[in-house]
Every structure is written in C-alpha cells, then in structure tokens.
Amino acid sequence: MRQLLQLHAHLITSPPPPDAVDPNVVAVKLICAAAARSNPRHAALVFSALSAPNLVAWNSLLRALSLHHLHPVALRHFHRLLAAGSPLPDEFTFTSVLKACAGLLSRSDGEMAHALVLTRGFESNLFVRNSLVDMYFKFGRPDDARRLFDEMITKDVVSWNTLVSGYCSCGDISMARKVFDRMPERSMVSWSAMIAGHARSGDLGAAREVFDRANEKSVGCWNAMISGYAQNEKFSEAIALFRRMLQIPMVQPNEVTLVCVLSACAHLGALDLGRWIDGFIKRRAMGLSLFLGNALSDMYAKCGCVAEARSVFDKMAERDVVSWSIIITASAMHGHAEDAISGFHRMLESGVKPNDITFMGILSACTHGGLVDAGLCYFDMMTEEFEIIPKVEHYGCVVDLLSRAGRLDEAEDLINSMQVAPNVIVWGALLGGCRIYKDINRGERVVQHILELDPGHSGSYVYLANVYVSMGRLEDAAKFRLMMREKRVVKTPGCSWIEVDNMVHEFFMGDRSHPQSEKIYSMISTLSLRMKLAGYVPITSLVSQSIDEEEKENVLSMHSEKLAVAFGLISTKDGTTIRVVKNLRVCNDCHEAMKVISRIVSREIVLRDRSRFHHFKEGQCSCKDYW
C-alpha cells in the first residue's frame, strides 16, 4: 500500500498529458489496486477526483465497496449514478449493487434494483440471476429465490452453490442436502457450504461425513469443519483438525482458519499453539488485519498474557470497538480495574463509540475491583449518555457488584426494578452475596425465585443444604438432598484444561482416565502433606456429603484444577508458569490451596475460572481474595 501511495502521489505531482492517457484508465487501475490491498476508502478517494467517470470506473468502485462490505456507501454511489442519468448501469453494476442490498438486508433497495434489472433487460444474465437468487435468500424469501433459480435457462456451479448456501443460511438443511446430492457438479464451495450448513445446525456428524467424502479438500472445506467444531464448543477437535491440516502441503491456512483456531486456543487456554500461530503470521508476513488482530489479542488475553494482548493491540493499524472491548475486558478479567477504566476513556478520546460488550467489560472491572460507586456511574452513563438499553447481563453485573460489597438491599431493589425479566444468573449473583454475608432469610427467598425459573438449578439445592447443616437443621438439609435425587438434579461437573508440550489435557473431578494418573495422584499426596505442614487447612464445610472429615479432605484434593496443577508440576521444568482454565468458579478451598502451592513449589499459577483470572504467586493471589 505504501508503494501504491507513492505511485499515486507521483501521478498527482507529475500527471501525464491529458491526451496521452484516459484519466479513467489510470483511476480504474488505482481503484482495483487499492481494493486488492483492503483499502476501499482510498479507492473511493481516487474515484472522487474524476470529473467525468465512465461506467468502468463506477463499476470498479461499486465492486470494491461491496466486496469489502461497505454496503451503505456502495448504495449511495449507485443512487448518484442513477441521478446522473449517464452512464447507464450494466450487468457488472447490478451484481455489485445486488450484493450490497443483500448485505444490508434492504428489501426496498433490492426490489428497486431488481426492477431496474428487468427494465434494462439483464435478468437472463447468469451473474445477475445468481446475485438475485442470493439476495432473496438473504431477505428470508427462499420461495422467491427458488423460483428464480428454477426459471434459469443456464445454470453453472455458482448457481447450485448459491442454492445450497441459501438453504443452509435459512436453516433448511434437509433441502440444502437434497440440492447438494443432486448437483451435476460440485466445486469446493459446494462442499464447504454443506459442511458449514450441517455444522451450523449442530449436526457435526453429518458435517464430518460430508468433509470426509470430499475427494479434494480446499482450505474452505477445512475452514468450514474447523469453524463448525469451534462454534459447537468442540475446541479440542478444532485444534486436532487444524494440526492435521498443517500436515498437508497443498493446503495452507488462511486468515479465516487462523481466526477460528485462535478462538479455540482462547477457550482452552492453549497458549503454546496460540504463540505458534502468532509466529506463523509473522513468518508469512500476513499482516494484522482487523479480524486477525482482534482474534490474536483475544487469545493472549484469555490465556492470561495481558502484556502480549496489549502489544498486539498497539501494532494494529486499524482498531474498532471490538479491539478496544477486548483490551478493556482483559484488564477487567485480570483484576486491573484502573487499566480497564483508563482504556475506556482512551477509547472515547479516540472517537470510538462503546457498545454493550464494552460496558460489560467496564462493569466487570468495577465488580472485580470493588469499585461500587464507579460501577453505578458507568451503568448510568451507558443508559443516559449512550442510550444503550441494559441487557440482563449488565443487570447481573451490577447486582454482583452491589452484592459483593454487602449492599444486598440495593441489589434486590435493582432486581425488582429491572426493565427485563431477571434470570437465574441475576438472582444467583444476589445469592452469592447472601452466602458471603450469611443473610439466610434473604438467601431462602432468593432460592425460591431461582427454583421457579430453573427447578434443576443444583447450586440452590447445595446452598440451602449447606446452610441448614451449618445451622444444625440436619433434617432440612437431608430433605433438600433427597429432593435433588428425586428431581435428578445433577451438578455441572468441574472441568479443567492445561496445555503441556502443545497438547491440551482435560481433567474432571476425581478423574483417573489420564495415562499418568498414578503419578498425578502421587503428586497430590505429596502436595497435601507439604501444604498441611505449611499451614493449609482444608475447608471441609464445602463438601455436602455425609462422610467423615478425612473423606471430605480426599474429595477436595481431587478437584479438577488441583489435578491439572499436579499434572503441570510433574510435566514441566522447575520455575515454569502453570496455566489452567476451569469451566466453573474456583471454590474457596482450591483458591486457598493454590496460594499455598504457589509458595511451597516456588511457581506462579495462573488460573482462569468462569469469571476472571487468578495469578497465584508466593502465597498471594492477584484478586486479593476478592472474587
């Protein structure tokens, strides 16, 4: 792009003689080159300098804008073309315009463009008809799209692909599969569309069957399958398939592949693979586009590397609200409330308008930092200054903020005044405050609300059973445990992941399926002894089963994050940071245990639970025991 700008500057300072070359020819070359370098706005700037643009120049600009999803701008220029009266649009004009109408879901513009297609006599043009079929599918009008397809005298593989993709996007996978199976010829796009369609519907078995049937798999097929696994939270499978892809020399990962795999790395905490992808991007000189930069920054943030996330953010040539939200949320998750607030105000100064996700980040920063008044101020700013309607998640964050600070009356009043119906998470935030401040009467009332919304909410049964045990009301505790059995209420199993030597290992509570289980449990026994000598006392009150104290201690020792840490200790060199990801909130006992372990083994332990990061080092946690 730098070279192109130099050439453009030379053309401006030393223009060729007017009679030597048509300005439109030069402009079209510049527009196409700028668009190829993902800079459609510069293409529009080049076009604006033309005093009498011809149709080729108009079409080049419209194509550049629609290809880069600047659909409103494309339509504005199309209306300018129509208002000028000359030149008249042709089939190349309409393919770009119909794509813009489809992208904007603008039915009125689409129907107007269709009418002009009929008036100008281009409806039988293959490319225009394919664009019309695609547009009507995007408008949610599959019958109109199918009629246009059936009326086509000539169909190519793009026509069939458009039909398959259209039915997939409408959720009619069975019809898409019927069309796919009777296609006279399938391109890689056909296979990719069908794989993506099955994956989007959640039928990964059918998606994998189509994937395995494809004789030659393009990068699109691999992307569709990897993306399907990632979208359906099969992150380990997504990474495994990516590793298989790397073994095929003829297929090279592209930006879409890397964004999908970085998402999987972020969820599993697979930092080594994420760093390898970062190196791959640099080795291939791919450049940090907006989407790839956001994915890389998000991966580092969710793997516990805030400095690296900020470094990626700083290198990005372009940043949007997603980029800023990632950094703000990352700071919040790591307990750096001041950095999150500073980032939020820098974002405002840069002219980027926050969205609802940005405010979730800033509110969670205040929650983890105990900044109650600041949090309430930002909540008011969201609604009053930026006119963002709070979602149930925002209310849940503020209720959590108030509940952690012991302001339970205000938290309950907020729930009762919510503009949307409170869900289990909102009431659960208040229940957390009741647990911390031992407000039993309010806790019983909150549990009733939760069980009305979700009769199978295991946390409520466990909470009341534990409360009743602590009060000596053993019959009431037994009654709730019996209700759990009768209603078949099952607690969500705790699961932890740790990456060692580029492989992600998964552990469940009491898990003995790992090949090195014997060594892991031996390490657990060794740690338990050393921890007690260091002053650790297991919090056995967290175990609700009616078993003796020794058995309760044994149950606590087998929590998934402890198994993951033990595996990390036997599998990595002394001094190596241990990074664990857990699907649930870390319990009080594991939190105390991690502090002690970090001190006795002289290791930093980074634990990401459901709500935040905990950095354990030398017997202390970054959350300062406020989580």
Q: What is the CATH number of the domain that holds 150?
A: 1.25.40
What letter would DSSP give residue 385?
Answer: T
* Residues 42, 143 within the same domain: yes
* Residues 500, 480 within the same domain: no
DSSP secondary structure string for all residues of 427-474: HHHHHHHHHHHT-HHHHHHHHHHHHHH-TT-HHHHHHHHHHHHHTT-H
Which residue range is the domain that position 513 belongs to? Answer: 495-621
Residue at a domain's end among 129, 155, 181: 155
pLDDT-based confidence at residue 470 (cuts at 50, 70, 90): low
Q: What is the mean pLDDT of the chain?
A: 91
Beta carbons within 8 Å of 551's beta carbon, 6+ residues apart: 545
At residue 582, the 3 state secondary structure works out as strand
Angle at 615 between CA 611 and CA 618, to 5 degrees: 150
* Residues 2, 126 within the same domain: yes
The predicted-structure confidence for 95-112, as pLDDT tens digits, reads as follows: 999 999 999 999 999 999
Closest by Cα among 480, 438, 437, 486 to 460: 480
* Residues 150, 3 within the same domain: yes
120 in any annotated domain: yes
* Residues 588, 463 within the same domain: no
78 and 110 in contact (C-beta within 8 Å)?
Answer: no
228 in any annotated domain: no
Instruction: Report the pLDDT averaged over residues 507-526.
Output: 95
205 in any annotated domain: no
* Residues 57, 104 within the same domain: yes
* Residues 148, 30 within the same domain: yes
170 and 140 in contact (C-beta within 8 Å)?
Answer: yes
Global pTM value: 0.75
* Residues 505, 609 within the same domain: yes
The predicted-structure confidence for 117-149, as pLDDT tens digits, reads as follows: 999 999 999 999 999 999 999 999 999 999 999
* Residues 69, 139 within the same domain: yes
Instruction: Please classify residue 108 by burial: count the beta carbons closer than 10 Å to its beta carbon, then call 0-12 exposed, 13-18 middle and 19+ buried.
Output: exposed
302 in any annotated domain: no
Count the domains in the chain. 3
243 in any annotated domain: no
Give yes or no for residue 544 having a pLDDT over 70: no
* Residues 506, 476 within the same domain: no
447 in any annotated domain: yes
Residue at a domain's end among 486, 519, 536: 486
Closest by Cα among 560, 554, 543, 556 to 495: 560
128 and 95 in contact (C-beta within 8 Å)?
Answer: yes
Q: Which two tokens stand for residue 583?
A: 């699907």
Residue at a domain's end among 455, 486, 517: 486
Closest by Cα among 591, 577, 515, 574 to 271: 577
461 and 474 in contact (C-beta within 8 Å)?
Answer: no
Element (H, E) at 371: none
* Residues 482, 500 within the same domain: no
pLDDT-based confidence at residue 558 (cuts at 50, 70, 90): very high
Tell whether omega for the bond before 538 is within 30 degrees of 0, i.e. cis. Answer: no
